Amino acid sequence: MKKLDIAPGKENLFYEEVGKRPIFVKFYMDGCPHCENMKPAWNQLANDLTTNYDGDFTIMDVNATTLNTLKSPLVENVEGFPTIFTIKKDGTKGLDYNGDRSEADMLNFILSNSDIRKKQRSLTPYPIQKLKYKRTRSKKNKRSKKYKTSKKSTKRRRIKKSRK
């Protein structure tokens, strides 16, 4: 799983990546209100995919200022922003994404149209930490000997009180 941002001066990354693995690409323009609104969901999608999923897949952002310098048939039909679609592993254009711009919808689209899988979590438990207990005195030890009474003497007192 890989995330790339193609900005001016980094156009060669686009050419290097296309044809290696499937790509989910977003073409955006700085200052575009639609692009700015979906930016948090896109970043969350990229973080979720890179941390929780395995597979040979790339998430790519392409800045609109690079479109004049990119010489690829993939970018010829990009007219509005944001434009989102998939690029197949062979380097040809795949499916256009026209769904909701939420992280959940984009993730469902990617999962249904690619072979990435959720990472396997190990079932080993967290190491058990030793608990430190504070030693405290019991109530018996806190009392002084002067106030201690035996069981027999307390029974005698009870008997005397009940007779009265």
The tens digit of pLDDT for each residue in 31-84 reads 999 999 999 999 999 999 988 888 889 999 999 999 888 888 888 888 889 999
Average pLDDT over residues 142-157: 54
Task: Report pTM.
Answer: 0.69
Of 72, 62, 56, 67, the residue nearest 15 (C-alpha): 72
Average pLDDT, the chain: 81
CA 57/CA 54 separation, integer angstroms: 8
Confidence (pLDDT) at 110 = 92
Domains annotated for the chain, with CATH where assigned, are: 2-118 (3.40.30.10)
Residues in the chain: 164
Pull the structure tokens for residue 134: 């504070």
Confidence (pLDDT) at 37 = 94
Q: C-alpha distances in angstroms, 54 versus 10, 28, 119, 122?
A: 26, 26, 6, 14
Of 81 and 160, more confident: 81
Q: What angle do CA 147, 148, 151 make, to 5 degrees?
A: 140
The letter for the amino acid at 46 is: A
Confidence (pLDDT) at 135 = 60
